[in-house]
């Protein structure tokens, strides 16, 4: 398979996400995404789940597949989880979710991690057919490596007794090597969950650095800090072309890879990240001699 086709295959069908706040600034998602695209709805600590329900209804109305986040540490108890599932399923036809621990230091209720949510059995009871869970190629500031490994083993076992399909969605990274090493290790350990790799969308170097620090991105952040030494580049728009090309080539060469797709984090806004992703999926790019490729679109 050619490098060009490998890149197109990896990016085709990319998923994206929005927050309720970002959604309010988007007049119509149909102006940016293809019909039927999968859109995750980020739940921020302290948010009202009613906002998630409203965005899910809107996405469904505009022809997209909403995937609400269920953040364990922001859910008080089983009854609240049950109620929230009832609302998104009943009002927005949700049958996919992302189940995560959530970025708060102290749980507000009975749940502290995603395995406890899954173990309630409520997702199956509400007819949820696809469950995404977090993947951590560079580790996590909230969990030890041993705890992450143990949780992933548990999720693999849960897959066997759940009616839902499951896959991993990773935090975004800026370098392919940690992701490749992680994928290789997971496959050697018997992981059966497909991997959707988190990709940073188009954004200025300054914006990417801000999000990377806030999200506790690991060693791959060095890719950005090296570029930041050139102050003139801080406001230039970065594209994840080198990262995607290296992942696509690795996936083509290693048939046992668990990587099946990419999830685009629109850190610099949905419009340009979506335009860029769709152009790549159509093959509207040219490989370069620096290990990446270029797409001829307006990135402002």
pLDDT of 257 > 80? The answer is yes
Tell me what pLDDT residue 221 has: 56
Question: Rounded mean pLDDT of 223-237?
Answer: 55
How far is it, in rounded angstroms, from Cα 221 to Cα 242? 14
* Higher-pLDDT residue of 213, 225: 213
Phi then psi dihedrals of residue 217, to 5 deg:
-65, 145
Question: Following DSSP, what letter does each residue of 227-254 receive, concatenated?
Answer: HHTSGGGTTSEE--HHHHHHHHHHHHH-
Tell me what pLDDT residue 142 has: 74
Is this structure's pTM higher than 0.75? yes
| CATH fold for the domain made of 3-202+240-294 | TIM Barrel (3.20.20)
Tens of pLDDT, residues 168-222: 999 989 899 999 999 999 999 999 999 999 999 998 878 777 766 766 666 655 6
Tell me what pLDDT residue 297 has: 81
- What confidence category does residue 237 fall into, taking pLDDT thresholds of 50, 70 and 90? confident
Question: Rounded mean pLDDT of 83-112?
Answer: 95
- Cβ count near 199 (within 10 Å): 24
Tens of pLDDT, residues 18-31: 999 999 999 999 99
Q: Which two tokens stand for residue 260?
A: 């099946």
Tens of pLDDT, residues 67-76: 999 999 999 9
């Amino acid at each position: 398979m050619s490098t060009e086709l490998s890149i197109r295959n990896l990016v085709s069908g990319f998923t994206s996400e929005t927050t309720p706040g970002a959604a309010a600034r988007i007049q119509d998602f149909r102006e940016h995404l293809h019909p039927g695209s999968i859109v995750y709805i980020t739940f921020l600590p302290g948010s009202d789940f009613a906002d998630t329900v409203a965005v899910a209804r809107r996405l469904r109305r505009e022809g997209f597949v909403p995937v609400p986040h269920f953040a364990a540490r922001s859910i008080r108890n089983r009854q609240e989880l049950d109620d929230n599932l009832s609302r998104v399923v009943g009002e927005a036809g949700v049958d996919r979710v992302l189940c995560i621990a959530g970025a708060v230091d102290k749980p507000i209720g009975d749940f502290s991690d995603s395995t406890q949510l899954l173990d309630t059995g409520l997702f199956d009871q509400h007819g949820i057919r696809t469950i995404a869970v977090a993947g951590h190629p560079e580790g996590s500031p909230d969990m030890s490596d041993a705890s992450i490994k143990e949780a992933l083993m548990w999720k693999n076992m849960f897959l066997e007794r759940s009616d839902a399909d499951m896959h991993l969605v990773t935090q975004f990274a800026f370098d392919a090597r940690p992701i490749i090493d992680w994928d290789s290790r997971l496959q050697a350990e018997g992981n059966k969950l497909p991997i959707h790799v988190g990709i940073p969308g188009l954004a200025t170097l300054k914006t990417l650095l801000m999000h990377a620090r806030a999200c506790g991105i690991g060693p791959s952040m060095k890719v950005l800090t090296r570029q930041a030494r050139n102050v003139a580049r801080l406001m230039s728009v970065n594209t994840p072309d080198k990262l995607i090309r290296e992942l696509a080539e690795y996936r083509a060469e290693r048939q046992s890879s668990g990587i099946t797709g990419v999830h685009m984090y629109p850190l610099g806004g949905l419009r340009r990240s979506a335009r860029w992703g769709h152009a790549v999926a159509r093959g509207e790019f040219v490989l370069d001699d620096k290990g990446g490729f270029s797409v001829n679109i307006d990135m402002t």
